[in-house]
Structure 1
Amino acid sequence: MSRMTRRRLLLGGVGAACALPLAAASRAFAAGGTASADAPRVLTATDVHVSDYPTVEAVRWIGQTLERETGGRLKIRLYHSGQLGREAEAIDMARYGVIDITRVFSGALNNAFPLTQALCLPYVFDSVEHLRRVVDGDVGDAVLRSFESRDLVGLAIYDSSGRCFYNTKHPIAQPKDLHGLKMRVAPSDIFIRLVRLLGANPTPMSLGETFSAMETHMIDGAENNMRSFHSSRHFEAARYWSETRHSYAPDILVMSRASFLSLTPADRELLVRTARESVPVMRAKWEESETLARQGVLDHGIQANEVDLPAFRKAAEPLLEEYRQKPEIGDLYRRIRELA
């Protein structure tokens, strides 16, 4: 069975599974209430990453906790490895209530939810610790609240470490080493424009398409974090990893607002609390698996090198300056830097 056929079958099943709860929720809203507190509910969650990826493990932990706390009345059915499509598709499916929960890269949310742009800007964060201070505080809360404007509920922000460039050609130590390279980027204006500023040719595409694109020389490389570089097995195609750490853009767990409102107030509170409690679970798994991933790619013979960070920061400055001129983004940028 082809991947596309399988996806259509899965989506058909998910749509059918969601139809009854959504219809019941609509009737409850019309009557001025919510779904019955005793009715069992299976929430559908998606992620493009593999089964043992830290964000997948964190959502699995949420499901196990909900099932335990509600005596099996509230559960999560988790589709990992992109079984239900790309992140852009998952965002739309969540907005329209076809699925309930999805974990997505914040860059994929930039256009529809502008406050996420502040988290994706180049060199806005100095380290993972800096990012965590920010997303665990008022800035993180503001970003999560912003999803309500377009039919989503922000549940949690998961960090994903420093994003770096990797390629099939040569080490990258200076921005000039990127000149002329065709580099895969996430479909985000910030990342497209950053790569162009650095002298490379940005090629937006999904994570799942990147390996074959490098093997067939459609692109020369990409940018991502070490854990994804390893789990996607991109290291088998790209032999050069360069520690640019140009972005610490996090991952975000969001939920369909219609699905969220169809839960009882008590279940909503439990879900939000459990999602927030999953953040340290994800971080512990991330730190452990990232160490193993780094050692794994080095053992495979990947050449890793440090870069001239001041040169990269200088090259990215025009993009930062432009976004700082936007009032909301400029305010968040200032608050982020105050926590550096």
Structure 2
Amino acid sequence: MVALESFAEDVAEATEGRIEPQVYPGGVLGAQPDAIEQLRAGAIAVGNFNMGPMGEIVPATNVLSLPFIFRNIDHMHKAMDGEIGQRFSDALEEAGIVALSWMDSGSRSFYNTQKPIMTPADMDGMKFRVMNNDLYVQMVDQLGGNATPMAYGEVYQSLKTGVIDGAENNYSSFESSNHYEVAKYYSVTNHLIIPECICVAKSVWDATSEEDKELVREAAIAAAEEQRELWAERSDSSKQEVMDSGVEVNEVEDASAFQDAMEPVYANFIEANPDLESLIRDIQAVE
């Protein structure tokens, strides 16, 4: 939110008031899928979107929801700030969306009410809430758990009553949702690192002068850099807060064991999307 306000202020100043973005926080313009469609229609000029919900519109972005597609945050930054990010930008533009810069939404890991997860075997038979996405259902199932799609608002009570044993999310969401009050084990797998974008409606972008396009893009890149720094600080503070409350945080013993378990997930995805295999391999090859 702070970075987006900075973006709006920088754009207004740089363009001498020719463009004055107004920030509407908290999803007041609609949930992400609805807001994305509004942006494509030009009803919303600029938006901050996670790539997860974008897959229904731009199939290539489903690659970003593959478990362990990025080794870590730095790998994601290098990929999205380079040629890989441009390929996603090109795909988005075909759908009427212009991506100006890439931001963070955290690294997701597993947490539960029972025990530390050190290896995939520790997940055997445990019920984990996942987002309603077949990739995430497959991910948990391949790790030996029982995937349980569920609305996010139901997770706290379901953890508390034992309807589920665990869930997965980043430190900041784990803390802000208060899930740490009932799930005292957080195991760092970093299995999902899904970027977000500052995006502009193509119809709006095409009507913008070349001079202002450059100024807006510069402001978006600066906002992304600020957001990444703020996110890292927030993540660190959330980690410390949950640890201070008694949550046991552990690194997994062998991350490769979790990654190797995803081979069937990738095989199924590539079988359904053979045209995206080269994109997957190119992301994995980024050093």
**Aligned Cα RMSD in Å?**
2.5
Taking structure 2 as the reference length, the TM-score comes to: 0.87
Q: Which of 134, 156, 181 pairs up with 2:101?
A: 156
Instruction: Show structure 2 runs of 5+ residues with no match.
Output: none
Give the direction of change, closer, same or farther, for the CA distance of 1:119–1:199 in structure 2 (3 Å limit): same
Give the direction of change, closer, same or farther, for the CA distance of 1:89–1:187 in structure 2 (3 Å limit): farther
- The count of residues paired between Structure 1 and Structure 2 equals 285
For the pair 1:232 / 2:187, whether they are aligned, the reply is no
Give the direction of change, closer, same or farther, for the CA distance of 1:151–1:201 in structure 2 (3 Å limit): farther
Give the direction of change, closer, same or farther, for the CA distance of 1:105–1:238 in structure 2 (3 Å limit): farther
Q: Which of 44, 57, 63 pairs up with 1:118?
A: 63
For the pair 1:88 / 2:33, whether they are aligned, the reply is yes
Between the two proteins, what is the percent identity of the paired residues? 34
Q: Which amino acid aligns with 2:166?
A: G
Higher mean C-alpha displacement, 180-189 vs 201-210: 201-210
Q: Which amino acid aligns with 2:285?
A: E
Q: Which amino acid aligns with 1:316?
A: M
- CA offsets 1:241-261 (integer angstroms, 9 cap, x no match): 111111222223323333333
SS, match of residue 132 in structure 1: helix
Separation in structure 2 between the aligned mates of residue 172 and residue 231 of structure 1, nearest angstrom: 22
SS, match of residue 125 in structure 1: coil
Q: Which of 263, 269, 285 pairs up with 1:317?
A: 263
Contact 2:15 2:215 (8 Å CA) reproduced? no
Higher mean C-alpha displacement, 130-139 vs 84-93: 84-93
Q: Which amino acid aligns with 2:278?
A: D
1:74 corresponds to which residue? 19
Give the direction of change, closer, same or farther, for the CA distance of 1:101–1:139 in structure 2 (3 Å limit): same
Higher mean C-alpha displacement, 137-146 vs 56-65: 56-65
Taking structure 1 as the reference length, the TM-score comes to: 0.74
Separation in structure 1 between the aligned mates of residue 54 and residue 97 of structure 2, nearest angstrom: 11
Separation in structure 2 between the aligned mates of residue 180 and residue 79 of structure 1, nearest angstrom: 43
1:335 corresponds to which residue? 282
1:195, distance to aligned residue in structure 2 (A): 1.9
Give the direction of change, closer, same or farther, for the CA distance of 1:200–1:101 in structure 2 (3 Å limit): farther
SS, match of residue 244 in structure 1: strand
Instruction: Show structure 1 runs of 5+ residues with no match.
Output: 1-55
Superposition map of 1:1-340 within 5 A: 56-205=1-150, 207=152, 210-215=155-160, 218-307=163-252, 308-324=254-270, 326-340=273-287
Separation in structure 2 between the aligned mates of residue 63 and residue 234 of structure 1, nearest angstrom: 33
Separation in structure 2 between the aligned mates of residue 252 and residue 272 of structure 1, nearest angstrom: 12
